[in-house]
Amino acid sequence: DAGVIQSPRHEVTEMGQEVTLRCKPISGHDYLFWYRQTMMRGLELLIYFNNNVPIDDSGMPEDRFSAKMPNASFSTLKIQPSEPRDSAVYFCASSPGPFQETQYFGPGTRLLVL
Amino acid sequence: DQQVKQNSPSLSVQEGRISILNCDYTNSMFDYFLWYKKYPAEGPTFLISISSIKDKNEDGRFTVFLNKSAKHLSLHIVPSQPGDSAVYFCAASLGNNNDMRFGAGTRLTVKP
C-alpha cells in the first residue's frame, strides 16, 4: 500500500482565496483524521470521520473550515476564504480502528496564505 | 489553551549518550500518553505509549516514564543514534481513543 496520500504537498495562495486539501486514506481504514501543525500550537486535531461520517469536528477553528468524506477513499478539507493565520502544515491520517497507535499519517500539505 | 506542553523546542546530544525529552500536561484526567516521531517532509509515526496505570514502558532503546503526581512524562533514548534525529511530539488523551492533544514538539539532533 502507498500509505496515506495527500495533495497538493505545497500550496501558496493569496488571502481570500479558497483552498482545498485532499486526502486518500489507506484502503480498509475506517477512520480518517485531519490535523493542523503550527509552531505555536503543535499538532491539533481538526476533525475525524468514522466510516465516512464526521464524528467530532470540535477542533475546526471556525466556519471558514469545512471537511467532507464523500466515500471511503477520499476526503477534502476546504478553507474559504483563506487568511494568513491559516498558514500551517495540514496532515491527514487514517486508522483501521479507534486507537491512536494505529494512526498512519500522510506527508502533509504545507499551506502558505499571503 | 495548550494542555500538553513541550517546553524545550530543541535538544542536541552526542551519539551514544542518553536523550531525554520532556513533556508536561495540565489536565489530570488524561490517562493515556504517546510519543510520535517525525522526520522532515513526512508525517508523524507512532513510537511508544503508556497508560496511567503504569509509570514506565520500555521498547528497545526507548523508555517512557510517567509521573502522574507531577503531570509529567519523559522519553529516554539510550543509546542515541544519528538516525534518531527528528522532531518528537508527545500526546495525551482520555482513554485509548482518537482525541489526542499534542505538544508543540522537540527537535532532537544526535551528533556523530
| Predicted confidence (pLDDT) per residue in A49-99, tens digit | 999 999 989 889 889 999 999 999 999 999 999 999 999 999 999 999 877
pLDDT at B15 over 70: yes
Write the pLDDT tens digit of every residue in A1-15.
679 999 999 999 999
Tracing cell 495533495 back to the chain, one arrives at A7
- What confidence score (pLDDT) does residue A1 get? 62
CA-nearest residue to B35 within chain A is: A101
Residue of B nearest to A10 (CA): B41
Contacts of A69 (CB under 8 A, 6+ apart): A32, A49, A52, A53, A54, A75
Contact between A91 and B44 using a beta-carbon 8 Å cutoff: yes
Q: Which pLDDT does position B98 carry in this prediction?
A: 67
- Mean confidence (pLDDT) of chain A: 93
CB contact under 8 A, A43 and B42: no
Q: Is the predicted pLDDT of residue B106 greater than 70, yes or no? A: yes
Please indicate whether, in this complex, the C-beta atoms of B104 and A41 are within 8 angstroms of each other.
Answer: yes
End-to-end CA distance of chain A: 36
CA distances from A16 to A22, A84, A109 (A): 19, 9, 19
Specify the 3-state DSSP secondary structure of A85.
helix
Contacts of B96 in chain A (CB under 8 A): 99-100
Beta bridge pairs of residue B63: B58, B76
Torsion of CA A55, A61, A63, A66, to 10 degrees: -50
